[in-house]
């Protein structure tokens, strides 16, 4: 099996700039003007131009102001604070500043298109720290 991440955006050029600047991803292939492959994570990221107001899944219309979804990306990094600074410089919105947790350090952000994501650096125990002793 293979995992692919598809991200709907209203502007592929702006999204390509954000994801390459914020996360150091690189452009793989371009499939016309509205579909770009980004590489550098364990799963390729595909940015797809989908205009606001068009029909998405079910009967939901796409919107690019901040929205909630039960699925989001956690980006594991070595240094959360440096990663937050880089993402914010690229246009991310910091929603919850970096904080320490038993499993590591985490910050919550949104990309310029309303999609939430977390930046996470695991402690030595990682999620095992939540199992108790």
- Asked if residue 59 is part of any domain, the answer here is no
The reply to whether 3 and 29 lie within a common domain is yes
Task: Give the span between the Cα atoms of 65 and 38, in whole angstroms.
Answer: 23
CATH of the domain at 110: 3.10.180.10
The reply to whether 45 and 87 lie within a common domain is no
| Domain extent at residue 41 | 1-52
In this structure, are residues 53 and 47 in contact, taking their beta carbons and an 8 Å threshold? no
Residue partners of 88: CB distance under 8 A and separation at least 6: 94, 109
pLDDT the model gives residue 133: 55
The reply to whether 35 and 97 lie within a common domain is no
Task: Give the span between the Cα atoms of 27 and 36, in whole angstroms.
Answer: 7
The pTM assigned to this predicted structure is 0.90
The reply to whether 47 and 72 lie within a common domain is no
**Each residue's pLDDT expressed in tens, for the chain with a length of 133 residues:** 999 999 999 999 999 999 999 999 999 999 999 999 999 999 999 999 999 999 988 888 899 999 988 888 999 999 999 999 999 999 999 999 999 999 999 999 999 999 999 999 999 999 999 997 5
Total domain count, the chain = 2
Beta strand pairing call for 5-9 and 45-49: parallel
Among 63, 59, 49, which Cα is nearest to 115's?
Answer: 63
């Amino acid at each position: 099996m293979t995992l692919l991440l598809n991200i709907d955006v209203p502007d592929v050029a702006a999204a390509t700039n954000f994801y390459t600047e914020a996360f150091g991803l690189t452009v793989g292939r371009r499939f016309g003007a509205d579909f770009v492959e980004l590489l550098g994570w364990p799963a390729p990221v595909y940015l797809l131009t989908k205009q606001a107001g068009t029909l998405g899944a079910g009967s939901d219309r796409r919107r690019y102001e901040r929205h909630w979804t039960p699925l989001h990306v956690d980006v594991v990094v070595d240094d959360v604070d440096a990663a937050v600074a880089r993402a914010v410089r690229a246009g991310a919105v910091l929603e919850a500043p970096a904080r320490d947790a038993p499993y590591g350090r985490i910050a919550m952000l949104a990309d310029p298109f309303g999609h939430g994501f977390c930046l996470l650096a695991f402690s030595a125990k990682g999620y095992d720290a939540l199992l108790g002793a």
